[in-house]
Amino acid sequence: MISPRAFALFAVFGAGVARATLQRPFASPLDVSWDELREKVDGRLYAGSPWAKPCFDDPESDACREIRLNYRDEASRASSSGAYINTQWETCQSTREQCLLDYTNPRDKSAISSPYSCSLGSVSDYYIDVREPKDVTAAFEFSKRTHIPVIVKNSGHDYKGRSSAPRSLGLWTRNLKNMTYNPKFVPKGCDKASAGVTLGAGVAWGEAYEFAEENNITVVGGSDKTVGAVGGWLQGGGHGALSNTMGMGVDRVLEFEVVTPDGQLRTANACQNEDLFFALRGGGGGTFGVVTSATILASPQVTLQTIIVAFPRNDKRARQLFTVMVDNGLAWAAAGWGGLANAQAAIYVNPVLNKEEAAESMKPLIELGERLKREGGEPVQVVVREFGSWGGFFHAFAGEYVAAVGASLALSSRLIPKDNFVQAEDRKALVDAFVAADSSTPGLIVLISPPTSYKGDTGRTSVTEAWRNSIYHITVISPWNWNATTVEKSEHYARASASIDHLRRLTPDAAYVNEADVYEANHEIAFWGSNYPELLKIKQKYDPDHLLDCWQCVGWKPESKRFACYLPQNVSITSV
């Protein structure tokens, strides 16, 4: 079997070392009553601290050895209030104020040697370990009085820096871990019962999948075990390998419990606070309120057919794989296939076909794998296997798949609509664009996760309508290490954007809000399509004082000091 780590194709780019005077982008208020806030949250207010700080304090300490050992471990990072999966969001990129290790070799002492020191960067000055809604209410009251920005952080899976900000008060929701299953859940104020799983804001998908297995049910989620199930993933849309047939996260949510910026705990569902329910179903996290729990639809356990073809990286084979995928894209989407792929492997899963139907449907991919085997040379793997549940598949394959952890990186993405798969010349152009993008920024991932064949009653969601007519969601990345200069960082953002331009030129303005270019042009349309004007009205209704804000979120204020650590994007890349 192929290890899904084959998908983590992240090149290490050289980075020059620059010396900088590290300063905070702006000063903290001096008249802040932190002790008063600490009393209101039962003592659960703590000073923020970068995760790598023990290594700057004492490189030989047990704490530092533990951090070095786990620097690229997502579970360890997700369990720390001061750590992020991608490390630029721990730093102040504009000033190089940071507290990082070398992610390629965490034992290397260069990053912690003079003249480098440990600074907070974009880690919150203080954070609340949120355990109940009143903690959020106290934070909003405090922010309104002191003008200190509030940010919401769960696991630290964040490609746009929305869960960190300098000189901020963090709301860390990771310890809201309640999970309950009700086979006859009725949303408040409604009369229709559905099987539902209620998850606290800190529950990760790995935990939710284990809970589903224990209860012989299926919940539809993401491919990374430490991503929060009902935080930004869900509120931004939420996609996964089962979404083609079973819907996106926002299609399956039944109810939210959310604290709005006026301090009120509200229930939002199809029968009350319907406008807020609409906004939370795709309008983005950290914008309309702080979700403390959500109830999502539970389905009966599904049997999965799995087809995998994998081989060592080879440009000729990559083109052949992409060609087979694109030529069969429409048919496979209609047949219920989902999954993910890159230049050296494709993993497809199907919850609606039986073994024989799956083998016949996937015959072109299986034949490609067998032909590559016969050609000899580097080894090729072809796996055809049935799993009795999503949890079984996830544990065997996707449960070990981890995106880049511990590195800083720029990401860009595009949704690829059905129209690009109809004509032969359009399919060829799409394959050419995949190859060009992957050559420019090695690590292109094809996420076969739009709800193309989903037949359920979606209700009104606020994601861009482009999701419903797309076959693929594509991402590219460009990473850098701890010692990159501000110019080099800007170049990586520009490189990722130029790489996805190969696909932008072929497709409409549409991208996934949670996995998108930090500097996405026309982001209101790209993320929300025609829903943006309504979302803006809802934002103004529930947050008139603008206590919540985040980068390229609905109604954002780009001039806010909370964005002082973002880089201006004015670098052009012409070599990709």
Q: Which residues contact 286 (CB under 8 A, 6 or more apart)?
A: 151, 152, 162, 163, 232, 548, 550, 553
pLDDT band at 459 (very low <50, low <70, confident <90, very high): confident
Band of the pLDDT at 400, cuts 50, 70, 90?
low
Q: What share of the chain is helix, strand, coil (3-state, %, to 5)?
A: 35, 20, 45
Of 321, 320, 354, nearest to 335 (Cα)?
A: 354
Q: How many CB atoms lie within 10 A of CB 72?
A: 18
How far CA 311 is from CA of 5, 103, 182, 306, in Å, comes to 13, 27, 44, 17
Q: CA separation (Å) from 508 to 35, 286, 503, 514, 521?
A: 51, 27, 9, 18, 12
The mean per-residue pLDDT over the stretch 339-356 comes to 97
Pairing of strands 126-129, 169-172: parallel
User: Quick one: pLDDT at residue 33?
Assistant: 86
Q: Give CA–CA dist 421/330, Å, rounded.
A: 7
Beta strands in 209-355, from DSSP E residues, in sequence order: 217-218, 253-259, 265-268, 290-297, 299-300, 304-310, 338-342, 345-350
Indicate whether 127 belongs to any domain.
yes
> Is the predicted pLDDT of residue 573 greater than 90, yes or no?
no
Q: Is 159 helix (H, G, I), strand (E, B) or coil?
A: coil
271 burial type by CB count under 10 A (0-12 exposed, 13-18 middle, 19+ buried): middle
Residue 401 has a pLDDT of: 59
Q: What is the C-alpha to C-alpha distance for residues 277 and 256, in angstroms, rounded to an integer? A: 7
Cα 200 to Cα 323: distance, rounded to the nearest angstrom: 42
Whether 107 is covered by a domain: the verdict is yes
Question: What pLDDT is recorded for position 376?
Answer: 85
Render 401-422 in DSSP notation, one character per residue: -----SSEEEEEEEEEEGGGGT
Q: What is the structure's pLDDT at 29?
A: 47
| pLDDT surpasses 90 at 267 | yes
Q: What's the pLDDT score for residue 377?
A: 84
* Within-domain flag for 121: yes
Q: How is residue 139 written in tokens?
A: 């934070």
* Structural domain includes residue 148: yes
Alpha carbons within 13 angstroms on the beta-carbon side of residue 394 total 24
Does the structure show a pLDDT above 90 at 18? no
Q: Is 99 within a domain?
A: yes
pLDDT tens digits for 65-81? 999 999 999 999 999 99
Q: Domain for residue 117, yes or no? A: yes
Report yes or no on 149 lying in a domain: yes
Write down the pLDDT at residue 5. Answer: 34
Residue 404's pLDDT is what? Answer: 86
Please give the Cα distance from 70 to 77 (Å, whole number): 8
Mean pLDDT score, 371-381:
92
**What confidence tier does 21 reach under pLDDT thresholds 50, 70, 90?**
very low
Structure confidence at residue 26 (pLDDT) = 40
Two tokens, residue 477: 């990345």
CB-based contacts of 42: which residues, under 8 Å, 6+ apart? 131
What pLDDT does 399 receive? Answer: 56
Number of domains present in the structure of the chain: 1
Mean pLDDT of 436-458: 93
Q: What pLDDT does 9 receive?
A: 29
- Position 576 pLDDT exceeds 50: no
Q: Which domain holds residue 92?
A: 15-172
Q: How many Å is the Cα radius of gyration of the chain?
A: 23
- In this predicted structure, the answer to whether residue 2 has a pLDDT above a threshold of 70 is no
Whether pLDDT at 208 is above 60: yes
Quick check: 168 pLDDT over 50? yes
Which band of pLDDT confidence, cut at 50, 70 and 90, is reported for residue 403? confident
Query: What is the pLDDT averaged over residues 146-169?
Result: 97
Predicted local distance difference test score (pLDDT) of residue 31: 53
The residue type found at 55 is C
Of residues 573 and 391, the one with the higher pLDDT is: 391
Sheet strands side by side (includes 150-153): 45-47, 126-129, 169-172, 150-153
Q: Is 411 exposed, middle or buried (0-12, 13-18, 19+ CB in 10 A)?
A: buried
Nearest to 32 by CA among 126, 163, 120, 123: 126
Q: How far apart are CA 450 and CA 336, in angstroms?
A: 11
Residue 266 has pLDDT above 70, yes or no: yes
- What's the confidence (pLDDT) of residue 402? 64
Percent residues over pLDDT 90 in the chain: 90
pLDDT reading at 6 higher than 70: no
Averaged confidence pLDDT in the chain: 92
Would you say residue 36 lies in a domain? Answer: yes
Its sign, for the CA torsion 496, 502, 504, 508, is negative
Nearest to 120 by CA among 574, 564, 549: 564
Task: For residue 532, name the pLDDT band (cuts at 50, 70, 90).
Answer: very high
- The pLDDT, as a whole number, for residue 380 is 96
Q: What are phi and psi of 345, to 5 degrees?
A: -165, 150
Specify the pLDDT at position 456. Answer: 84
pLDDT band with cut points at 50, 70 and 90 for residue 95: very high
Find all residues with CB under 8 Å of 124, minimum gap 6, and list them: 48, 81, 151, 153, 164, 165, 168, 169, 170
- Residue type, position 118, single letter: C
Contact indicator for 496, 441 with CB cutoff of 8 Å: yes
pLDDT at 570 over 80: no
